[in-house]
């Protein structure tokens, strides 16, 4: 398995690529009705995951903890569920997934906060 910072950065870049392609598709069709979902994919999927990757790259002691991998997987799941849920809500197919994804994103961020408080910032070992 790749290092935690690499996993966060690679997944963030993947979400950025998806967001760019989706943005091009919206522009080409002139249909921007799903732009809130597109925005969340870019913000939570790319920006937030990249910032988290920077933290783990600068704080290797945190990156090697079991919590870092739990944090990574929960963050990925929350992005996927949140974005799909927003699409469903905007398409008037219910907001249950959007709500679930939001709760998972908050939980992921709480875990990140706990990791920062436990391991500090920039600590080597």
Residue-by-residue DSSP string for 19-64: HHHHHHHHHHHT--TTHHHHHHIIIIIIIIHHHHHHHHHH-HHHHT
| pLDDT tens series, the chain, 125 aa | 589 999 999 999 999 999 999 999 999 999 999 999 999 999 999 999 999 999 999 999 999 999 999 999 999 999 999 999 999 999 999 999 999 999 999 999 999 999 999 999 987 76
Count CB atoms within 10 A of the CB of residue 65.
16
Cα gap 98→85, rounded to integer Å: 4
Q: From the DSSP assignment, how many helices (H) and strands (E) are in the chain?
A: 6, 0
Looking at residue 124, what is its pLDDT? 74
pTM of the model: 0.93
Q: Which residues of 29-64 are buried (b: 16+ CB within 10 A; e: fewer)?
A: eeeeebeebbebbbebbbebbbebbebbeebbebbe
Q: Are 75 and 55 in contact (CB under 8 A)?
A: no
Cα gap 51→82, rounded to integer Å: 19
């Amino acid at each position: 398995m790749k290092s935690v910072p690499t996993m966060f950065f690679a997944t963030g870049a993947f979400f950025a690529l998806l967001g760019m392609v989706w943005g091009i598709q919206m522009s080409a069709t002139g249909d921007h009705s799903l732009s809130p979902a597109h925005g969340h994919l870019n913000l939570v999927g790319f920006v937030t995951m990249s910032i988290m990757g920077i933290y783990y790259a600068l704080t290797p002691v945190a990156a090697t903890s079991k919590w870092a991998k739990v944090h990574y997987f929960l963050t990925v799941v929350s992005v996927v569920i949140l974005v799909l849920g927003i699409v469903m809500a905007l398409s008037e197919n219910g907001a249950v997934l959007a709500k679930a994804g939001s709760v998972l994103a908050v939980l992921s961020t709480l875990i990140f906060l706990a990791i920062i408080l436990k391991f500090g910032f920039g600590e080597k070992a």
